[in-house]
Amino acid sequence: MAEPTALILGVGAGLGASLVRRFRAGGLRVAAAARNGERLVGLFAGDDHISSHQVDATDGAAVAALVDKVERESGPVEVAIANSAAWKIAPVIDLSAEEFTAIWQAGCLPAFHLTKAVAKNMIARGRGTILFTGSAAQMRAGAGFGAMAVAKSGLRAFSQAAARDLGPKGLHVAHIAIDGPIDSARTRAANADHNRLVAPDGIAEAYYQLHMQPRAAWSNEIDVRTFAEWL
């Protein structure tokens, strides 16, 4: 009963939920994980091919244990997605060292932990897809974006290096830079012009298409945004 599985770290009601649904619709089992695993249970109730998990994505041992559990209980992880971030917009002198470090740990480090945890078995199988949710706004080192730009520029650099290390072993690593706020109840309330909100189902489709690419025509970096918004 072990079936190909997509493991998604950092699932909430927004992009994470769209990713769960899209990879499920593509015929994979899905393991959805979040810091607060309880919240996920209700979200995907009724589909026993979707499992919910609690994990601290900044904790390498916890991520490794989760991957072991998912491979044992659901099936080989063919797709692994790191979809976490932390936010604080403030001048660099108003950030504490704890905040600066925590934003890097939440926005960059989980990609490393996840890659380490899934790569060994993926390499043995000769294939696998590893995708990272980046942010164009957070990579842009504007005033107030010091901590986030460090985290998300680091994530992009990690994606490039991991792709070069793991591509020749058959692993497809890619970075998706989302340029603009993702459509949600919260962002609809905060943005008068809803044309400026990026559709989570549309983003999830882009992730799925990356997974479907043949290895002789892989993308490593794509951006996603709306027609109306160019930061």
Scan residues 48-77 and list those touching a copy of itself (CB under 8 A): 60
Which residues make beta-bridge pairs with 171?
A: 128
Residue 34 within binding range of a copy of itself, rule CB under 8 A: no
Residue 222 within binding range of a copy of itself, rule CB under 8 A: yes
Give Cβ neighbours of residue 175 (< 8 Å, ≥ 6 apart).
131, 132, 134, 155, 156, 159, 160, 220, 221, 222
Q: Are 206 and 219 in contact (CB under 8 A)?
A: no
In the bound complex, what is the minimum distance in angstroms from residue 170's beta carbon to a copy of itself? 6
Stretch of 27-35, 45-53, 80-88, 213-221 lying at the interface with a copy of itself (CB under 8 A): 213-221
In the bound complex, what is the minimum distance in angstroms from residue 88's beta carbon to a copy of itself? 12
Q: Which of 62, 86, 116, 191 binds a copy of itself (CB under 8 A)?
A: 116
Judged by CB under 8 A, the number of residues near a copy of itself is: 76
Residue 25 within binding range of a copy of itself, rule CB under 8 A: no
Residue 31: phi, psi to the nearest 5?
A: -110, 115
Sign of torsion, CA 209 149 118 6?
negative
Q: Are 198 and 207 in contact (CB under 8 A)?
A: no
Residue 190 within binding range of a copy of itself, rule CB under 8 A: no
Residue 213 within binding range of a copy of itself, rule CB under 8 A: yes
Q: How far apart are CA 118 and CA 2, in angstroms?
A: 16
Give Cβ neighbours of residue 228 (< 8 Å, ≥ 6 apart).
193, 195, 196
Q: Which of 55, 113, 134, 137 binds a copy of itself (CB under 8 A)?
A: 113
In the bound complex, what is the minimum distance in angstroms from residue 184's beta carbon to a copy of itself? 13
Residue 22 within binding range of a copy of itself, rule CB under 8 A: no
Residue 134 within binding range of a copy of itself, rule CB under 8 A: no
